[in-house]
Amino acid sequence: MAQYTRVAGSVGLITLQNPPVNALSAMVRQGVVDTMERALSAPEVKSLVICGQKETFCGGADIREFGTKMSGPPLTPLIHAIEASTKPVVAAIEGVALGQTGASRGDSGSTAS
Ligand SMILES: C[C@H](O)[C@H](C)C(=O)SCCNC(=O)CCNC(=O)[C@H](O)C(C)(C)COP(=O)([O-])OP(=O)([O-])OC[C@H]1O[C@@H](n2cnc3c(N)ncnc32)[C@H](O)[C@@H]1OP(=O)([O-])[O-]
């Protein structure tokens, strides 16, 4: 899933939550759609941060769903929607960021769109 919290008053924090590597399952993708809508429609939110948990950003698509019937929002339009956000979106990356989340393994860092 994706948890939504507001930090520092004006930052919408979206936390990817899908142990063990926060992979982008159908539920996580739907959670990102829902939390993005919530953050973008909240006047008090001026920017968004997307992060993972347990020292991992995201292991990419959820390989446990490979070979099963696709459900939930497709990944590519979701990434395009993040890129088209009307508010700045920062990916706070710790550990791995694989697949379409950006194939990298960084100790920490962030990218903005
Ligand atoms: C176009 C776009 O590209 C498309 C859309 C895609 O995105 S394609 C998908 C792209 N993503 C991948 O190919 C990621 C492959 N995984 C890895 O490279 C590594 O796992 C790791 C992330 C660097 C962590 O290494 P690790 O050594 O710390 O732990 P582990 O022992 O390997 O794995 C620890 C546990 O995590 C599980 N796991 C790892 N990756 C997973 C994933 N993507 N989805 C679901 N579970 C995953 C793994 O099965 C094991 O579970 P269990 O056995 O304990 O129950």
Which of 8-12, 102-106, 109-113 tops mean pLDDT? Answer: 8-12
Q: Given the CA of residue 61, which atom of ligand 1 is nearest to it?
A: 7
Domain spans of the chain, in order of start: 2-101
Enter the pTM of the model: 0.90
Q: What is the pLDDT of residue 46?
A: 98
Q: Given the CA of residue 64, which atom of ligand 1 is nearest to it?
A: 45
Q: Which CATH superfamily is domain 2-101 in?
A: 2-enoyl-CoA Hydratase; Chain A, domain 1 (3.90.226.10)
On the question of pLDDT at 104 being above 50, the answer is: no
Which of 17, 18, 21, 70 should be mutated for ligand 1, with most atoms under 8 A from CB?
A: 21
Residues 6+ apart with CB under 8 A from 27: 1, 18, 72
Question: What ipTM is given for this predicted complex?
Answer: 0.95
Q: What is the pLDDT of residue 102?
A: 53
Q: pLDDT by residue (tens digit) across 19-34?
A: 999 999 999 999 999 9
Q: pLDDT by residue (tens digit) across 49-92?
A: 999 999 999 999 999 999 999 899 999 999 999 999 999 999 99
pLDDT interval class at 109 (50, 70, 90): very low
Tell whether ligand 1 has an atom less than 6 A from the beta carbon of residue 63: yes
Cβ atoms within 10 Å, residue 90: 15
Distance 21 CA to ligand 1 centre (A): 7
Tell whether ligand 1 has an atom less than 6 A from the beta carbon of residue 23: yes
